[in-house]
Amino acid sequence: MLLLTFKHIIADFVLQTAWMAYGKDQKKGWALPLLVHCLIHLACALALILVVAPRFWFVAFIDFAIHITVDRAKGICSSHFGMTLEHPWFWTLIGVDQALHHLTGFGLSIFMAANG
């Protein structure tokens, strides 16, 4: 769980550019920034899992699928309701997004621990 949390911090905050962060939440032109962002998550997760538990390599692809789904849902909400920094629900949306990502890491960690 700690390693997947570390992966999330690196991929979501250190390696995510403004182009990705803002681009993936737009009404148009969101696909490429979202894909690049989630491919970074995939690469980080796959590298980490291949070192720590290589037989679970496929978990990185599950993480990718969930991450792209959660981020797209956030992008739809953000663009549809105009959730910029000034919007009263902006930080709630960010919090829900981050909670879902951490629950994903928790669930995948449990899966790997139970089947390891």
Give tens-digit pLDDT for 70-108. Answer: 999 999 999 999 888 888 999 999 999 999 999 999 999
Give tens-digit pLDDT for 41-55. Answer: 999 999 999 999 999
Report CA-CA distances (Å) from 75 to 26, 35, 116: 7, 13, 35
pLDDT at 85: 83
- Averaged over 24-36, what is the pLDDT? 97
Task: Of 15, 25, 18, give the one whose Cα is nearest residue 74.
Answer: 25
Residue percentage of the chain with pLDDT more than 70: 100
Q: Which range marks the domain in which residue 64 is found?
A: 2-114
pLDDT at 84: 84
Q: Do 67 and 104 contact (CB within 8 A), yes or no? A: yes
- Averaged over 56-75, what is the pLDDT? 98
pTM: 0.94
**Number of independent structural domains in the chain:** 1
Task: Of 112, 16, 12, 14, give the one whose Cα is nearest residue 60.
Answer: 112
